[in-house]
Each structure stands twice: as structure tokens, then as C-alpha cells.
Structure 1
Amino acid sequence: MPIAANGCRLRKSRFAEQGRLYLLTTVTQQRQPVFADWRLGRLLVDQLRCADESASVTSMAWVVMPDHLHWLIELKNGSLAELMCRIKSRSSRSINLVRGEQGRLWQRGYYDRALRRDEDIKGAARYIVMNPLRAGLVSRVGEYPLWDAIWI
């Protein structure tokens, strides 16, 4: 069965709990390296910050990779589905406008993992921000322009 079909089925019964920590991952359509252009990545970052400012989430760590996003959050209001729909929709609109394009930017669905408070949250954040280093995009994390963590 294709991933998209499984992803849609999983989303229907998903439960999101306010105050819970989640590690979210979403991927660009056909894994296109849209965010290899860091200026386009900043448009996505603007949407992450809007989610914080609207009190939907508290962002703990994130990294925008060329073809995907990892985002560690504490969910404050609404559901994960609403949050991800808003982030993907608004970032698609602004990026397509800049690129003079139309169409889908993101693959359908997303992956989420609920974290317990007793898990190593800083370890999860380190894993997220080390992605560019593991992918060979930079030789030091500080060289990569599209990441942040509340502990830094």
C-alpha cells in the first residue's frame, strides 16, 4: 500500500493533546530540495514563528532541511492536523508567490511522535539540529542557516 494511503488513514484517528510534546516531520513534494535556497527556507521559518506568536505552539527546536522539516513543539491550542495544515498552506502560498509558481509544495500528511516529559528532550533537539551535519551539508552546525533551539 502506498505511503500516502497509509498516511491518510492514520490521520483520521489521531489524537492530539494540548501540553504534549511532539516531534513533527514533513516532506516536500517528490522530495524536491526547495529549501536548498535558504531564502525560501526563511519563508517557512516565518510560519513557524507565527505559530509561536499565535500561541498555537511553543517551538523547542527545528531544522529546515533542503527537502523536509523537523520541528519539536509543545502543542498549546488546536490540533496537530490544523497546525500542519496552516503551516503547509501558508508557507506554500508565500513560497509559490516568490517563485512565481503554483501547485503543491508539500507531500500529503506528516509524521508525528509524541514525547514523554521524562524523555531526553534536549537529546531530541540535538538530534534535530545535527541533521545538516549528518547529511554532510556543513562541517559545523553553526554554519547552517535554517535551525534553532530554545536552549541555544
Structure 2
Amino acid sequence: MAEALASEAPKVPERNVIPRKEQKVSYKDATVHRYSAVGQEYLVTLCTQSRTPKFENFSVARATIGAMRHLEVQKLATITAWVVMPDHLHLLLSLTCEKGLGHVVARLKIHSSRNAGMQIPWQKGFHERTLRSSDDRRDIARYIILNPVRAGLVRSIRYYPHWDSVYLDSEYQ
């Protein structure tokens, strides 16, 4: 019976899939995004292409942090919690411009590469979760900054150099 049902199932046509490492990331790809709203908060995750650990290099990680600060200086976003992991980063941010989340992420990718003096191979796009008013920002910030501990990089977040949070500084210093 199961074989009969399987043979009746429509065949899915094969697609030409380009492996991630061969995909080119463009500004246009990074800016395609759903609806974004000024003042809306997002939990955003950006990964390097093929999860290459580019941020193990201290100066590349700090250049990316500088790019995050640049978003605030340019009044594109307010970042309230973040962590830079070896191959990805997490941000808790609020949009402060009408250009949209895709634009803000694209600017972060461009400026981090520029600040690092090299092309950081970013994965195409990004992952985001829109926060609800009922979400506890402090719990989300704690989740973000404890990533290095969960990954086994450090025993305590106080020993990890690439994080910050307006919610938790005194709790983890």
C-alpha cells in the first residue's frame, strides 16, 4: 500500500543548486527583506559563508564591532545586546531609520569588511526574529551573550572579549 502511494506522489523536478561557497553575496541580496518598522526590535543572526571562523582573528572581530557602532552613529539602529562568535554574530537591535532591516544588515556587512581591511565572506542573507512586546529583553540578551559559554569557548562570559549588553553589564562583569 505504501509503495503504491509513493509511486503516485508527484515527482519534484531537480533544481540546479549552487553550493553556498560558490554563491556571490550582493548588496541587493542582503537588502531583500519583509516589512520592517522604525522602533521595531529584532533578534538578528549573521553567519560567515560556510561558517568560516573569521572572527577568531581578534582584529577582524573588533572591526565588526566597530561596524556595529557605526550603525548607531549613522542613526540606522540602536543595538542593545550583541555577541561576536568565531563564525557568526547575534544582535538585539531596534531600527531607527526607515530604510529597513535589510539595509541595516547590508551596511553592517559592508562596513565590517571595510574596517577589517579585507572581504569578510558573509553568508547570503540573515536570520531575524521580530520581538513581541511580551518578550523579556533581559532574557533574550542573556541568551545572546551566553553563546560563548554554551559553545564551550569560555567557562564564564567575563572571559570572552566580544560581547556587550545594556541589560546585563553589571551582572557579568
Corresponding position of 2:79: 59
Give the superposed CA RMSD. 2.2
**More contact order relative to length (CA 8 Å, sep ≥ 6):** 1
Q: 1:94 aligned to 100, 115, 125, which one?
A: 115
- Work out the number of aligned pairs and report it: 144
Give the alignment partner of residue 80 of structure 1, picking from 101, 112, 115.
101
Instruction: For 2:88 and 2:130, locate their aligned partners in 1 and report how far apart those are by CA, in whole Å.
Output: 19
Q: Secondary structure at the match of 1:42?
A: helix
Displacement of 1:118 after TM fit?
Answer: 2.0
| Aligned-residue offset at 1:104 | 5.3
Within the candidate set 146, 158, 164, 1:130 is matched to 146
Determine which structure has more spread, i.e. the larger CA radius of gyration.
2
Q: Identity of paired residues, percent?
A: 37
Please give the per-residue CA displacement for 1:43-69, whole angstroms capped at 9, x wherever unaligned: 000010111112111111000000001
What's 2:43 paired with? 23
Structure 1 residue runs of 4 or more that deviate by more than 2 Å after TM superposition: 1-5
Partners of 1:12 and 1:47 in 2: CA distance: 20
Query: SS of the residue aligned with 2:81?
Result: strand
Give the Cα–Cα distance (whole angstroms) in 2 for the partners of residues 90 and 117 of structure 1.
31
| Runs of at least 5 residues in structure 2 that lack an aligned partner in the other structure | 1-14
Q: Tell me the TM-score normalized by structure 1.
A: 0.86
